[in-house]
Structure 1
Amino acid sequence: MRGKKGGVEKTTSAYKEWEVVCEALARGKQHVLLRKGGIHEGRRGFSFKHERFYLFPTRFHAQGEQVRELFGDACRGGMDEWKAGDEIVIRWWCQAMWARTLSDWKDVASLEPFHIWKEDLVRERFDCGEVQRIHCALVRVFALPEPLKLTFEKRYGGCRTWVGLPFDSPDEVVAVVPDDDFTEVQARVENIFQR
C-alpha cells in the first residue's frame, strides 16, 4: 500500500484518537467522534475535512480515567505515550457519514449512548473556548484486511487531529458493524437532531 506517484510520496489522512476510543469504535461500542480541536489546528481551527480516513491510535496515561468503558491495552495498563521509534499499528478505516457543529448541550448530552467518554470530559470540551460548541461526526468503521505498520515520528505527535500517512486508501475493507445494525444506529443518532 505504500507508494509514490509522480515522484511524490502518496499520503492518506488519518484522524488521531485515543487508542481506547479506537478500540470502542472497532467493536461497535462507539459511533460518533466529538472534537473541539487542538492548539495546532491552525487559524481556522478544527473541522472534519476528510470523509474517509484511517484511525491513528494515540496514547496518554490518563485516558482510561476519562471513559466509561475500557478496551484493548487500556484494560491492561500499557498506555504510555508513543515515543520516537515505537511501532504503530493502523487497523481501521473510517467513513464520516456526516459532520456538524453542535451548539446545544442537550443534543450533545443525548449522544451519550453512542460514545464511551465520561460526561464531564465532553462537557469540558464543549465549554472550552469563547463559544460553547463541539464538532460531531457519525462514522462507520471498517477493519483493514491486513494491519499497516509504521514507526512513530515526531511529526505524528502534538495537539493536531489530522496527520498524513504514507499509505494509499485501502482497496478492500470489512464493516465492523453489519449494515442493518448500522442503519438502526444512524437513525437513532439522527433522530436526536429531529426533535
Structure 2
Amino acid sequence: MTPSTALKEWDTQCQALTSGTSALLIRKGGIMETHAGFEVEHRAFYLYPTFLHQNPAELRPEFAALLRDDPQPGRIVLPALAEVVAVHKVESLERALALEPHQALTAGAIERRFHYRGRPWVHALLLRVRPLARPAVLEETPEMLGCVSWVPLAEVTAEAQAPVLPEARLEQLREEIERAVNG
C-alpha cells in the first residue's frame, strides 16, 4: 500500500531518520493543529522535510551539521517512507527528557514542546524508515503550506528500499524507549 499522506518534520530530523542516525520523533503539533494537538492519524506516510522553524539551538550538537538551506525552493523532496513501529503519549517531563539520546532534539527543545500551549505531553514515535530509491519531487501547492503536521498528497509513485535499521535494532530501540517512557 502506498501512503497518500506525508508528515512534515524539520529537514534535519528527516535526514537523521533517512540515514538511520535516529528512529524516534518527539511531536507536539503545529500552530494550525486542532485544539487537541498532534495525533498519530496515519501509521504509514512519507517524510516531508520542512525548513520553516528549524532552530539550530534546539538540535543536539551531533545533528547541527545536517542543517542546510532548502535545496529546491518551491518543491517538496520526499526522501523516504516511514511506518510507525510504536507510539507513546508521554505525560511526564522526566520521561520525555529520558528520550533525548534517541533523537535529534535538545532537552530544552523537548521541554518546550512538552509544555507547548499549556498542555503537558508529547508523542514519541518510533519509526521504521525506508529511503526511496529516488526521492519523489512534488511541486509545492498552497494546500501544502502552513504549520500543520499531516499533508494529504496526490498520487505519488515511488519505490521504497529496505529499512535503514535492521529489525533487531528497531526492537532494541523499542524496548529502550518503552523503559524510558514507562519508568
- Within the candidate set 23, 37, 45, 2:15 is matched to 23
**Structure with the larger helix share:** 2
Give, in whole Å, the separation in 1 of the partners of 2:23 and 2:178.
12
| Number of equivalenced pairs | 180
Q: For residue 134 of structure 2, what is the amino acid of its counterpart?
A: E
Alpha-carbon deviation of 1:34? 1.3
Give, in whole Å, the separation in 2 of the partners of 1:33 and 1:169.
25
Q: For residue 7 of structure 2, what is the amino acid of its counterpart?
A: Y
Q: For residue 53 of structure 1, what is the amino acid of its counterpart?
A: F
Give, in whole Å, the separation in 2 of the partners of 1:62 and 1:111.
20
Give, in whole Å, the separation in 1 of the partners of 2:35 and 2:171.
36
Q: For residue 180 of structure 1, what is the amino acid of its counterpart?
A: A
The more displaced of 25-34 and 56-65 is 56-65
Is it true that 1:78 corresponds to 2:75 in the alignment?
A: no
In the alignment, what sits opposite 2:169? 181
8 Å contact kept, 2:132–2:159: no
Q: Are residues 79 and 129 of structure 1, via their aligned partners in 2, closer, same or farther at CA, if it must alter by over 3 Å?
A: same
Give, in whole Å, the separation in 1 of the partners of 2:150 and 2:28.
13
In the alignment, what sits opposite 1:143? 131
TM-score where L is the length of structure 1: 0.82
Give, in whole Å, the separation in 1 of the partners of 2:56 and 2:70.
8
Calculate percent identity across the aligned residue pairs: 26
The more displaced of 110-119 and 122-131 is 122-131
Q: Are residues 168 and 60 of structure 1, via their aligned partners in 2, closer, same or farther at CA, if it must alter by over 3 Å?
A: closer
Q: Are residues 131 and 172 of structure 1, via their aligned partners in 2, closer, same or farther at CA, if it must alter by over 3 Å?
A: closer
Alpha-carbon deviation of 1:45? 2.7
Q: Are residues 194 and 65 of structure 1, via their aligned partners in 2, closer, same or farther at CA, if it must alter by over 3 Å?
A: closer
- Within the candidate set 75, 92, 114, 1:87 is matched to 75
8 Å contact kept, 2:85–2:126: yes
Give, in whole Å, the separation in 2 of the partners of 1:151 and 1:89.
9
Task: Name the SS of the counterpart of 2:138 in structure 1.
Answer: strand
| C-alpha RMSD over aligned residues | 2.3
In the alignment, what sits opposite 1:54? 46
Alpha-carbon deviation of 1:110? 0.7
Task: Name the SS of the counterpart of 1:129 in structure 2.
Answer: helix
Alpha-carbon deviation of 1:117? 0.7
Alpha-carbon deviation of 1:116? 0.9
In the alignment, what sits opposite 2:28? 36
